[in-house]
Homo-oligomer: A and B are copies of this chain.
Amino acid sequence: MKKRVIRSPFFCVNPKAYLYGEKALKMAKKADELAEKYDIDIFFTVQYVDVYRIAKETSRLIITVQHMDSLTVGPGMGYILPEGLVEAGVQATFLNHAEHPVSINQLVTIMKRAEELGISVIACADSIAEAQAIATLKPDVMVCEPTELIGTGKVSDLTYMEETNQAVKSVSPNTFVLQAAGISTVKDVRKAIKSGADGTGGTSGIVCAADPIQTLEEMVEEVVKVRAELKE
């Protein structure tokens, strides 16, 4: 499979384990519609069991899993086979999220498997030191979230965003940076993209909002607005 080309600025909807089945599908369809309408790339993370169905019922989303293993075809019970993901419709995977850390050796091995199969990698780091270490592996996208902000609704400050964007780009200029810690308002979305990040998005900021679908729409539209301003 050829790896999909990602265009900046992009958006990322990461429902973690908040959504599954019908509800995940419903939000995915909305995100797909927005991706179409605004010609924007949207990563949408899903439970593994929902990959096939969501891939079938959407056309523009980058179907993304929240972790994958380096398992190869053969034995291995209950791990995530990359070949299986691809056949079901996966195009990207998160790796090394603070809630799912991997050893460095595993990260290198899984990234090699992703490369072989054309799966884009969104690698996560908890600190600037970790971000720079991982950036040497040239992932497609990097997230650098201070662990203490995850799920809090507190956004990283602008200085932190600029520093991490810079830290990653200085090591791997072609890696995109996703700033998504604590994003819960359109103002946060604007701030993230304005910081120089290539993408933004969220989890609880969207799925725990009073109206998740509307929040998603407003956030994506804000990215589109900032995109237009940056082109001027």
Name A's B-contacting residues (CB within 8 A): 14, 16-18, 20-22, 47-53, 65-68, 71-81, 83-85, 87-88, 90, 94, 96-108, 125-127, 129-130, 132-134, 136-137, 147, 150-151, 171, 203-204
Asked if A130 contacts B151 (CB within 8 A), the reply is: no
Asked if A67 contacts B73 (CB within 8 A), the reply is: no
Q: How many copies does the complex hold?
A: 4
Asked if B78 contacts A20 (CB within 8 A), the reply is: no
Additional pairs, 12, CB under 8 Å, beyond known A17-B81, A68-B78, A96-B104: A14-B77, A16-B76, A17-B71, A47-B48, A49-B84, A49-B87, A65-B78, A75-B99, A78-B99, A79-B100, A102-B104, A133-B136
CB-nearest residue of chain B to A151: B75
Asked if B17 contacts A79 (CB within 8 A), the reply is: yes
Measured CA separation A151–B51 after assembly (Å): 30
Given contacts A52-B50, A75-B204, A97-B77, contact A20 B84 (CB under 8 A): yes
